[in-house]
Amino acid sequence: MADPRAWVAASLFSVIVFVFIIFFVASLQKDNFSDTAHTIKAYLKFVYSCFLKPHTGDENGGQQAALESFYKAQATVYDATRTRLLHGREDMLGLVAAQMKFKEQTRRTGRKPIWIDIGGGTGYNIEQMAKFLPVSEFFQTVYLVDLSPSLCDIARSRFARLGWENVRVLCEDARSFNLSEQQEKEHGQNTAVSKGESHNNVESQTDGAALITMSYALSMIPDIYPLIDTLSTLLSPEGIIGVCDFYVQNQVDYQSRNYTGGVVDRHCTWISRVFWRTWFEVDRVNLEPARRDYLEYRFGTILNINARNHFLGVRIPYYIWVGCSKENGSTTAKLAELDAAATESPFLEALDLHASLSRRANSIPSDVRSKALECAIVNLSASLPLPSAWYQNHNWRIYYDYQLQKHRQFKDEYIYAFTWEDSRVDARLLKVRSDDVILALTSAGDNILSFALEKPRRIHAVDLNPTQNHLLELKVAAFTALGYSDVWKLFGEGKNDAFQELLVTKLSPHMSSLAFQYWLQNGHTAFKDRGLYYTGGSRHAIQLVGWLFKIFGLSGQVQKLCSASTLNEQREIWHRSLRNVLLSRILSWTIISNERWLWKALGVPPNQRNLIEKEYVKQEEYGDAQSSRSGHAIWEYMVNTLDPVVNNTLLSEDNHYYLLCLQGHYSRRCHPDYLTPKAHIKLSAPNAFDSLRIHTDEINEVIARISPATLTIAVVMDSMDWFDPKGADARNQIRALNRALKMGGRVLLRSAGLTPWYIARFEEMGFVAKRVAARMPGSCVDRVNMYASTWLCTKIATLEKVHAKGLKKALGSMEKLKI
């Protein structure tokens, strides 16, 4: 073995054997070894064709000859050896099928769609599509276009066996495929007209294909630019294109783009990029990033997924991409309409303002222009696709720049998995009407769904944390696409083993790309492990309570508390056993009052904690020297919160907030109003959420871009407590609220203080403030009882009048001084 060439040969042989073992073992079924001999033969062919057999072609180096050289020897075993290697194909088919079903439900034409499968090979994808759609009935015609004669022969045999007469297998170069010419050719041969379908109908179906797919084909075509250009001409204006393929890419390439639909897991490490590009080039598979980049440039992105194929330590990067025509959704009228809905500008006025995009930068006043439209204008000016949010089937989610640090600070985790606001009290205080325009913080979205049940004219949901809005999007998509049983499993029980299947096949057409990516990556943890309500920052508090009860052997008492049928029974259990654990002073001082714990587990920021401490000092008259005793202040706050809840509300029947915290799920007897069968009927109705707009930004930014005097209700929860009393944020937000609210418009807020410092700011800026609930020791103001006070601030004057009045008063004082 002194010869270096012998070492190289031995190493190469070892690699080939290792690859064969990987694919062979990965293909075996644990409970079935009857086909072992056939499997061994198939993988021997695979290894020979991929790693040993020289790849030859004709003298001119044609692509067809090269493909035939590679595939001819393994055509009969191609499908058997690619099952574990080519991941994501079924998911891609499920995603495009879900899009097609949605379009089938909403389209007005009765024509059946046309599907073109580019590089379809043996026809495996078309047969697998039958899991999602009845191929022979749903599509008018399916064209499989591939350049390998051997693979096309396998495909023809497949469809003859299946009896699918609407599938055409064409062995030709996809770059030169022309749908109109192909249809005219078939029409002339009387092969394209099915029973009960007129010639005129076929002739009218030349506006393009409704679906184009490519599965691990884009990386094998040498000249991809003319191919992708051809695809853009083949696709109908409302069509869908789906691609699944290998890739490697550095984040430097795409980090400045806003139209990719998210970049979760897109970056590949240096060693991954070098290794996989080199490895696949042996088989003429090219992974240069330009292929995917040009695809995203020529089309609009609907959904984007980056994943890894894991088996036996191998991690191969692949992506799934679903797109549409680049021009779909970019018409002037649609841009204007969607922007008007985001800013509450009258549509006709907005349409006039947007009439000429050639005067983009100066044609639209900044006070009625959304960030989404500003971004769209920039992209259109550069001939780039619009951000993915513009190509969604619904207009719920407003575009935001997910790469900004202010959004990334939450580290892809929501704090609240459920909302800590009593929706019943909100409904009683606000009395929502059909002409109301509501702006509310998203939180977990429960309150947004409660408002949606009242059918106001518009709901603006606002949250800086993208994942809180992802949770709301998931709930809205679930009501839109799922039956009551699945909705209850997801958000009543917090668990659904079929979550991933539901996400791909039913929820995906109703979600933005960013939200879909998030739930594809995190859904297993949320809905298959402990459950949805053990996720998010709030899980820390719920888990701590659960651990304490287990340690002290009180789990049985918790179950009794959750099923108590009377208040007396509930009080007895609470005071006998559970109260001493939850309201332990040691627990409060060591854990609960910790600043980091309060923020991460309970969503209480430092400024709100300071407000609690000051209120405690004021009530107890300790003086400023005691203000640092935060442990005692937090303990007292917890006592005033929990004791009245247990003494006044029956958890098993009428307090789903604390029932959820104790048992991790709702019950059929006690749950939010939006989880009733009656609510499902309302929220699953067509267009039930057309009035919803989900903004991912600071509330000040959103309010500043809403047309003046258009809001009627603003629900800011306890967010005003988060501001620094010495800063200008609160004053700026109140000023923005005054500007955006109609005269008589109301702001509903809650606070950890009985008389928070910012109430005076409201009264200085044109509002009359009324405290509509005050939590005194021992009292229970609502089922949550978490906040010391609830306020309604009503706009009675514009800022101009307030300033004029202040100026008049100042001038009067100056006159008196002169005298």
What would the pLDDT profile of 245-294 be if each residue is shown by its tens digit? 999 999 999 988 999 999 999 999 999 999 999 988 877 789 999 999 99
Q: Does residue 327 carry a pLDDT above 90?
A: no
Higher per-residue confidence, 110 vs 22: 110
Q: Does residue 203 carry a pLDDT above 50?
A: no
Instruction: Write down the pLDDT at residue 605.
Output: 76
Instruction: Write down the pLDDT at residue 363.
Output: 41
Nearest CA among 620, 621, 655, 658 for reference residue 636: 620
Q: Does residue 529 carry a pLDDT above 60?
A: yes
Which of 58-67, 136-145, 204-213 shows the highest mean pLDDT?
136-145
How many residues in the chain?
A: 819
Q: Does residue 385 carry a pLDDT above 50?
A: yes
* Contacts of residue 656, Cβ cutoff 8 Å, sequence gap at least 6: 666, 667, 670, 671, 672
Instruction: Tell me what the pLDDT averaged over the chain comes to.
Output: 84
Cβ atoms 219, 165 nearer than 8 A: no
The alpha carbon torsion through 678, 684, 688, 692 (nearest 10 deg) reads 100
Instruction: Write down the pLDDT at residue 196.
Output: 43
Higher per-residue confidence, 24 vs 644: 644
Nearest CA among 268, 233, 235, 275 for reference residue 251: 268
* Contacts of residue 462, Cβ cutoff 8 Å, sequence gap at least 6: 439, 440, 441, 442, 695, 697, 699, 702
Dihedral of alpha carbons 544, 548, 550, 554, sign: negative
Domain positions in the chain are 33-80, 89-325, 332-391, 407-530+676-800, 539-663
Instruction: Write down the pLDDT at residue 198.
Output: 40
Q: Does residue 669 carry a pLDDT above 60?
A: yes
* Contacts of residue 792, Cβ cutoff 8 Å, sequence gap at least 6: 429, 746, 747, 748, 769, 770, 772
Higher per-residue confidence, 349 vs 158: 158
Q: Does residue 365 carry a pLDDT above 80?
A: no
- Asked which of 62-66, 699-703, 787-791 is least confident by mean pLDDT, the reply is 62-66
Q: Thinking of the domain 407-530+676-800, which architecture would CATH place it in?
A: 3-Layer(aba) Sandwich (3.40)
Three-state DSSP string of 94-142: HHHHHHHHHHHHHCCCCCCCEEEEECCCCCHHHHHHHHCCCHHHHCCEE
Instruction: Write down the pLDDT at residue 588.
Output: 72
Q: Does residue 628 carry a pLDDT above 90?
A: no
Intrachain domains 89-325 and 407-530+676-800 with the same fold: yes
Higher per-residue confidence, 770 vs 346: 770
Instruction: Write down the pLDDT at residue 783.
Output: 95
Beta bridge partners of 32: 29
Instruction: Write down the pLDDT at residue 87.
Output: 87
Q: Does residue 329 carry a pLDDT above 90?
A: no
What is the band of 616 on the pLDDT scale with cuts at 50, 70, 90?
confident
What is the band of 79 on the pLDDT scale with cuts at 50, 70, 90?
low
- Asked which of 249-263, 603-617, 785-799 is least confident by mean pLDDT, the reply is 603-617
Question: How distant is the alpha carbon of residue 665 from its chain centre?
Answer: 23
* Contacts of residue 202, Cβ cutoff 8 Å, sequence gap at least 6: 140, 183, 187, 192, 193
**Structure-token match 């739930």, residue found:** 519
The H or E element containing residue 711 is strand 711-717
Instruction: Write down the pLDDT at residue 328.
Output: 82
Instruction: Write down the pLDDT at residue 522.
Output: 94
Higher per-residue confidence, 144 vs 315: 144
What is the band of 355 on the pLDDT scale with cuts at 50, 70, 90?
very low
Instruction: Write down the pLDDT at residue 66.
Output: 57
Instruction: Write down the pLDDT at residue 59.
Output: 54
Whole-angstrom CA distances from 509 to 225, 480, 505 are: 28, 10, 8
Higher per-residue confidence, 351 vs 521: 521
Whole-angstrom CA distances from 419 to 481, 542, 657 are: 23, 14, 8
Looking at residues 707-735, what average pLDDT do you find?
A: 93
Q: What is the pLDDT of residues 228-244, one digit of tens each?
A: 999 999 999 999 999 99
Of the options 3.40.50.150, 3.40.50.300, 3.30.70.330, 3.40.190.10, the CATH number for the domain spanning 89-325: 3.40.50.150
Instruction: Write down the pLDDT at residue 595.
Output: 67
Q: What is the pLDDT of residues 97-114, one digit of tens each?
A: 999 999 988 875 568 999
* Contacts of residue 334, Cβ cutoff 8 Å, sequence gap at least 6: none
What is the band of 193 on the pLDDT scale with cuts at 50, 70, 90?
very low
* Contacts of residue 629, Cβ cutoff 8 Å, sequence gap at least 6: 613, 622
